[in-house]
């Protein structure tokens, strides 16, 4: 028995319909279908969703891996149902003098010869490196100033939203999909990893950055 897989999932505010291995759900934020493997089955009891073993498809030889599969699909389905009610959030902080981010329209990016891009900013034309979801249909994206000779334009997936404070250094990423949200934040952090001496870079809130002592002048 899987300790995680046998736990009930609350479905308050979510309409759930089960047809065989297909779990259809609809909430205030999203509606979709989740497909369970043949070895598992789903039932609804007392406003709770239960994931159990499908005795008809269960084979003793698969007993070792059954608990892993059971717990995995329980966690994935639970996240899907949670995202149907409210957004998942990740808070990101940019550390460094002059380093910041801002939401801009994708249309301000100008394409130059040789597959290069630029933007007019502060009465100057600055080169831009396109990162993130380059094929995204979202009208807005994030423009990062990170102390480089060029700027970064990060294309946001359509299902990910961002809130930025006035300083441009505190960002809140929101999405109904926790996997896509984590992948998006991970790519943002890769733009400038925190360096160990001054801590300058992009990090998540409450992320611990290992610091090193700088060289001191001999007395």
Could you report the per-residue pLDDT of 142-191, keeping only the tens digit for each?
999 999 889 999 999 988 999 999 999 999 999 999 999 999 999 999 99
Mean pLDDT by 10 residues, the chain (219 residues): 86 91 93 92 91 75 74 93 94 94 90 86 84 81 92 92 94 94 94 90 90 73
Q: Is 14 helix (H, G, I), strand (E, B) or coil?
A: coil
CATH of 9-85, one of 3.40.50.1100, 3.90.930.12, 3.40.50.300, 3.30.70.260: 3.90.930.12
List the chain domain ranges.
9-85, 88-204
Q: Is 165 helix (H, G, I), strand (E, B) or coil?
A: coil
> In CATH, what class is 88-204?
alpha beta
Q: Copy the structure tokens of residue 16.
A: 């759930």
Please state whether the predicted TM-score (pTM) of the whole model is above 0.75: yes
CB 158 within 8 A of CB 166: no
CB 172 within 8 A of CB 89: yes
Buried b / exposed e across 92-129, counting CB within 10 Å, b at 16+? bebbbeebbbeebeeeebeeeeeeebbbeeeeeeeebe
Q: Which of 140, 203, 193 is nearest to 169 (CA)?
A: 203
Q: What is the distance, to the nearest Å, from the Cα of residue 33 to the centroid of all Cα atoms in its chain?
A: 20
88-204 has the same fold as 9-85: yes
**Cα distance between residue 173 and residue 162, in whole Å:** 5
Helices (H) and strands (E) in the chain, counts: 2, 16
């Amino acid at each position: 028995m899987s300790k995680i897989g046998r736990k009930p999932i609350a479905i308050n505010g979510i309409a759930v319909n089960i047809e065989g291995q297909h779990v259809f759900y609809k909430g205030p934020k999203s509606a979709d279908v989740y497909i369970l493997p043949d070895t598992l089955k789903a039932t609804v009891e007392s406003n709770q969703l239960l994931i159990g073993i499908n005795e008809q498809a269960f084979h003793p030889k698969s007993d070792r891996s059954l608990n892993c599969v059971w717990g995995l699909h329980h966690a994935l389905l639970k996240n899907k149902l949670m995202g149907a009610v409210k957004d998942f959030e990740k808070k990101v902080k940019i550390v460094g003098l002059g380093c910041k981010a801002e939401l801009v329209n994708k249309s301000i990016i100008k394409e130059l010869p040789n597959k290069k891009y630029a933007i007019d900013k502060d009465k100057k034309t600055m080169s831009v490196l396109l990162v993130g979801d380059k094929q995204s249909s979202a009208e807005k994206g994030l423009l990062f100033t990170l102390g480089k000779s060029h700027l970064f334009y990060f294309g946001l997936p359509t299902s990910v939203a961002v809130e930025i404070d006035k300083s441009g250094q505190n960002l809140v990423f929101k999405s109904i999909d926790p996997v896509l949200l984590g992948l998006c934040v991970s790519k943002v952090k890769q733009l400038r990893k925190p360096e160990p001496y001054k801590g300058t870079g992009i990090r998540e809130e409450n992320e611990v950055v290992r610091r090193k002592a700088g060289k001191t002048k001999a007395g």
